[in-house]
Structure 1
Amino acid sequence: MNTDTMPKLGVGQQAWRLTLAVVVSVPVWLSTLALARSRNGDPGSWLLLGDPVVALVCLVLLLWRRRWPLAVALAVTVASTVSVLATGAALLALCSVATRRRPVEIGIVVLAYVTGSQLAIGVFPVEDAAEALWWVRITVPALTAGIAVAAGTAVGARRVEVRSLRERAESAEREQSARAAQARAQERNRIAREMHDVLAHRISLVAMQAGVLDHRGDLSADENRVLVRGIAEGSHQALEELREVLGVLRGDPGHPEPPQPSLDRVPDLVTDARASGLDVVLADTVTGTPPDGVGRTCYRIVQEALTNAAKHAPGAVVRVALDGAAGTTLVIRVRNGPAPRRIPPPPSSGFGLLGLGERVALADGELDHGGTPEGGYVLTARLPWPDGPPTVTKRASEWKADPTP
């Protein structure tokens, strides 16, 4: 046990320990004083003056027993040979050494204590040495030292246990704080990803409509009004969705997290894209309702693909195909042709497909994307659809009722 790791004692703890040492020593000193008076009539100046001074020095030395435990214990034990009033200080020093639970140190101090008690008989001749058996003179101080060692060992074991419990509690608290911080970071990253998915789609449609207004001078007044109204509505929806996401990010109780979209919202997504001027064809042969996680990932894949098509291929035909059933794989394929006219794309973060790849990977799916020979682009995703209880079948014919270009 390292003394640097031992608990520091406060003034109150030091005081009561030293007081206890004095309380133990005073009866022994008074008894010795009374015996000396009865035998010799005069106890002597050393017992009255020198003994208390040595005991006081021993008590002062005990204040440094934490820093130099073995040296202080040996010094106090040797000093107790000539001072009866220092007996309690010697036992306290022995007990302090025993808290370290080092057998060699304990054995040295015990040997010094027992040896010193034998020498003390000559210093204080309160009884005839011949009247006491040698084993009695050794056994009594040995038992006293054993009690002090047992008490010190128990205190040391208790300190180790308390320190271990404290370290475990601090470690658990640190781990809990780390888990909480990690959970907060993951939640913020998730919300940030949702913000990108929502706003990138809305702003891309608005930018596409603004680009049409800028590059088309042959539009009628009604067509201009439709495009302007679409820009206004898209901007308003983007602001509303941004406000909702920011409310969740701030932890505002007045802004609960909006419901997550799923596969059944894909037709609405396609309708909004058509209203913004994007030429989209939706073909769906999905049978059944996939789990929420699979459906939400499917929605985000279509959303990101339509966003990229609006940015990089405005005016091109975009074909969205969905196919799958429970127990198989949900396949999402979004394909667009080359842009019929060159329009500078709006600013892009460059993290859309990267975040989409992370979503698909979390769903244990596969994502492929790349250019086509004719200058278009195709994105294909495959999501595992675990088999589950029967669900209500979607009417794919309703989705196919949208007009084709």
Structure 2
Amino acid sequence: MNTDVGPRLGVWQQTWRLTVAVVVSLPIWLSTLVLMRNQTGSPGTWTLVADPLVALGCLAVLLGRRRWPLTVALTVVIASSVSALATGAALLAMCSLSARRRPVEIGAVVVAYVTASQLAVDVYPLEQPPEVWWWAQFAAPALTAGIAVAAGMAVGARRVEVRSLRERAESAEREQYARAAQARTLERNRIAREMHDVLAHRISLVAMQAGVLDHRGGDLAADERRVLVRGIAEGSHQALEELREVLGVLRADPGRPEPPQPSLDRVPDLVADARASGLDVTLTDTVSGAPPGGVGRTCYRIVQEALTNAAKHAPGAVVRVTLAGAADGTLDIGVRNGPAPLRTAPPPASGFGLLGLGERIALAGGELDHRPTPEGGYVLTARLPWPDGPAHSYEKSA
């Protein structure tokens, strides 16, 4: 049940509630004046002076009903037994207390109100018709108290509903903000991963060729130097073209389909580009069939990242790439490079290559392992699940 006393009321809200209490009490007080005048000839000083003063005091006490609801309610309902003009204040106090929806408090105040109403017989000695039964004297105040309690319970239920709707709206707004923040984070990660995959490989090959040219420039023939310079120029040009493609995809209309991503059939081209840039790379492909698009793309990115790292950290080393697997089994990828024969300063490392690769493989349900070898090289192995499903065919090339 709701135990909140509710927010503080403003001046206007307090004013109209107290005005309603006075309007409800006024007919009762006037009726009492008329009956006493008819039966006793004079309403008396108490009814004309003390009764309104007690009612005014009850209205003043009602201003603190939100802070001390039970105390105020008991005070007002007991005081209403000696003031007909305070009846509306007593009903308002019971209604406000009932909005808290505490049965024990409500029951105590209702009993106090019905009991105190019997004391009004001594304050206003009016003659009762002989046909009025004794239980009717209890039924009338109990009925009015029940109406006030029912109204208060309805108000309390409405407050709970409004509070629940407000909390749900605030919770939905927080969830929407969290989803938007998560979407922005995922989009930034996707952009960073694509930029790394596209640029790191090309730039690493360019850096490797530039390192070879700087380290062995005096020992190379003119034709060899021209080959390296041409490779640097072509690699830089290809890096810019691939960067333009990535930016075009990111800026494109969301409704437009994205261009096809490289898959397993592009691995031979990847190896050929690395070989043309100066890496001693060999590819051993014993894959039977063609894996699904997601598995093939992940395989391509694994080989690309491994060759990129080999070019950055072991320029001129011998690199062996092996692919093996079949449908309804696994696709095994292995990239091993020997120690670097050239000692050149590697380009700055981003630190996100293997991390992003691990995320890709984890999403695909595979396993990744990478470690240095005893002879000073490095080995990277990955295993991807290959479900038996539709796939795109490709032709192997040396």
Whether the TM-score (by the shorter chain) exceeds 0.5 is yes
Alpha carbon RMSD of aligned pairs, Å?
2.9
Contact conserved, 2:284 with 2:321, CA < 8 A, in 1?
yes
Shift of 1:170: 2.8
1:287 is aligned to 2:288: yes
**1:212 maps to what in 2?**
212
Cα distance in 1 for residues equivalent to 2:15 and 2:238 = 73
Structure 1: unaligned runs, 5 residues or longer: 401-405
**TM-score by structure 2 length?**
0.87
1:163 is aligned to 2:169: no
Cα 1:239/1:80, change in 2 over 3 Å? farther
**1:99 maps to what in 2?**
99
Contact conserved, 2:5 with 2:66, CA < 8 A, in 1?
no
Cα distance in 1 for residues equivalent to 2:327 and 2:200 = 31
Shift of 1:3: 5.4
Shift of 1:299: 1.0
Contact conserved, 1:316 with 1:338, CA < 8 A, in 2?
yes
Contact conserved, 2:291 with 2:392, CA < 8 A, in 1?
no
Q: Which moved more, 1:369-378 or 1:17-26?
A: 369-378
Deviations along 1:305-348, one digit per CA (max 9) or x if unpaired, are 10111112222232222222221211112222333333333332
Contact conserved, 1:121 with 1:129, CA < 8 A, in 2?
no
Q: Equivalences for 1:5-404 in 2 at 5 Å?
A: 6-128=6-128, 132-216=132-216, 217-239=218-240, 241-242=242-243, 252=251, 259-372=260-373, 374-389=375-390, 391-396=391-396, 399-400=397-398
Cα distance in 2 for residues equivalent to 1:145 and 1:230 = 96
Cα distance in 2 for residues equivalent to 1:170 and 1:145 = 37
Deviations along 1:126-173, one digit per CA (max 9) or x if unpaired, are 334877432221221112112212222232233333333433443343
Structure 2: unaligned runs, 5 residues or longer: none
Contact conserved, 1:3 with 1:66, CA < 8 A, in 2?
no
Contact conserved, 2:281 with 2:320, CA < 8 A, in 1?
yes
- Structure 2: which amino acid aligns with 1:207? A
Shift of 1:88: 0.8
Deviations along 1:181-216, one digit per CA (max 9) or x if unpaired, are 234323322332333333322221121111012112
Number of residue equivalences? 395
Question: Residue 332 of structure 2: SS of its match in structure 1?
Answer: strand
Shift of 1:90: 0.2
**TM-score by structure 1 length?**
0.86
Deviations along 1:29-55, one digit per CA (max 9) or x if unpaired, are 221122223223332343333323322
Cα distance in 2 for residues equivalent to 1:93 and 1:128 = 28
Shift of 1:303: 0.7
**1:403 maps to what in 2?**
none
Contact conserved, 2:316 with 2:341, CA < 8 A, in 1?
yes
Cα distance in 1 for residues equivalent to 2:240 and 2:126 = 99
Cα 1:393/1:264, change in 2 over 3 Å? closer
Cα 1:392/1:235, change in 2 over 3 Å? closer
- Structure 1: which amino acid aligns with 2:378? Y
- Structure 1: which amino acid aligns with 2:214? D
Cα distance in 2 for residues equivalent to 1:252 and 1:57 = 73
Cα distance in 2 for residues equivalent to 1:206 and 1:362 = 31
- Structure 2: which amino acid aligns with 1:104? V
Q: Which moved more, 1:177-186 or 1:112-121?
A: 177-186
Cα distance in 1 for residues equivalent to 2:274 and 2:368 = 23
Cα distance in 1 for residues equivalent to 2:215 and 2:326 = 44
Q: Which moved more, 1:253-262 or 1:79-88?
A: 253-262
Q: Which moved more, 1:366-375 or 1:378-387?
A: 366-375
Shift of 1:11: 4.0
